[in-house]
């Protein structure tokens, strides 16, 4: 009887190589997809955070200006005021998904700047965008009372909604009291 000599060859069979390469490709494809989603989400969050910071900065600027102002005209989507500290007539408006600002610095030489500011109509090309992203919202105003003895100081509440792309709606609100004490009869 003849004995078969079994040779013990070292190495992998073709089937083992195919299976291991297939598993490796599946793992790499899954991890690539996961990292791709991670980076896309990071980019969206970063853009949204930038929009929020942008709107917060704009709201702070509006509050700073309105604090030293008297309201001369207002509506749901706009507020127009004379700023005593800068001697300008300024209008903030929410229009077409943008927060806009226009101002006129020629009021400094006016005899009656409040009346002149109230009569000032800003053209569309005078407005500058203050924010990025899609903005909606409103202004709620209470003007300082000019009735003698009332001592009622005005305030403005700014309510803004931010939406960038298909992301969630974020609501921001800020209120500012006017310091036009003289108009309110306090000084």
Question: Residue 181: enclosing H or E segment and its boundaries?
Answer: helix 181-184
Q: What are the start-end ranges of the E strands in 47-151?
A: 69-74, 78-83, 88-95, 98-104, 128-129, 134-142
Asked if the model's pLDDT at residue 129 lies above 60, the reply is yes
pTM, two decimals, is 0.75
* CA 120 – CA 72 distance, rounded (Å): 10
Residue pair 78/89 in contact (Cβ under 8 Å)? The answer is no
Please name every residue paired with 162 in a beta bridge, in sequence order, or none if there are none. 135, 170
| Whether the Cβ atoms of residue 88 and residue 105 lie closer than 8 Å to each other | yes
Q: For 132-168, write each residue's pLDDT tens digit.
A: 878 999 999 887 766 566 667 788 999 999 887 777 7
81/159 Cα distance (integer angstroms): 17
Q: What is the mean pLDDT of residues 69-89?
A: 91
């Amino acid at each position: 009887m003849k004995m078969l000599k079994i040779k013990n060859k070292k190495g992998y069979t073709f089937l083992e190589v195919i299976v291991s390469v297939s598993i490796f490709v599946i793992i790499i494809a899954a991890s690539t997809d996961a990292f791709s989603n991670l980076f896309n989400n990071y980019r969206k969050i970063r853009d949204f955070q930038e929009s929020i910071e942008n709107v917060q900065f704009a709201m702070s600027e509006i509050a700073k200006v309105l604090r030293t102002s008297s309201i001369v005209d207002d509506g749901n989507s706009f507020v127009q005021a004379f700023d005593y500290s800068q001697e300008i007539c300024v209008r903030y408006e929410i229009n077409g998904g943008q927060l806009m600002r226009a101002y006129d610095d020629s009021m400094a030489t006016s005899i009656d700047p409040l009346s002149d500011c109230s009569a000032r109509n800003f053209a569309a090309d005078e407005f500058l965008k203050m924010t990025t992203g899609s903005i909606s919202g409103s202004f709620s105003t209470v003007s300082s009372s000019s009735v003698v003895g009332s001592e009622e100081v005005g305030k403005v509440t700014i309510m803004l909604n931010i939406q960038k792309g298909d992301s969630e709606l974020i609501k921001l609100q800020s209120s500012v009291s006017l310091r036009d004490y003289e108009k309110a009869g306090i000084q």
